[in-house]
Amino acid sequence: MLHGLDECLVPPSPVEGNGYAADGAELPTDWGSALRRYADGTILVKGFESVFTRVFKACKEQEMRVAAARITDFEYDSYLRAF
């Protein structure tokens, strides 16, 4: 929001009807894609120190690796209980 105020950006018109069918930028649907979009962005770097943005990205990458290494209940039930 601060970026929009600083740059005097005009917000788009409100969506009428089915907002899901409207054209617009799509948000990432997975954690890795969201981190890549964050790393490629330039707006947050202006609002925060570059050290913060690098450390935040590193923390989120570590969280993603830890989460990916865990066996979910679904995986356990689907694969390990099958034997």
pLDDT digits over 46-71, tens only?
778 788 889 999 999 999 999 999 98
Q: 22 in a domain, yes or no?
A: no
Residue numbers of the domain that contains 62: 51-83
Indicate the pTM of the whole model: 0.67
Q: Give the chain as a DSSP string.
A: -HHHHHTTPPPPPPP-S-GGGS--PPPPSSHHHHHHHHHH-SHHHHHS-HHHHHHHHHHHHHHHHHHHHSPPHHHIIIIITT-
Does a structural domain hold residue 26?
no
How many structural domains is the chain composed of?
1
pLDDT value of position 43: 83
Residue 39 lies in a domain: no
Can you tell me the mean pLDDT for 10-27?
Answer: 85
| Residue 10 domain-assigned (yes or no) | no
The residue count of the chain comes to: 83
What are the backbone dihedrals phi and psi of residue 25, each rounded to the nearest 5 degrees, phi first? -70, 135
Classify the C-alpha dihedral 22-26-31-35 as positive or negative.
negative
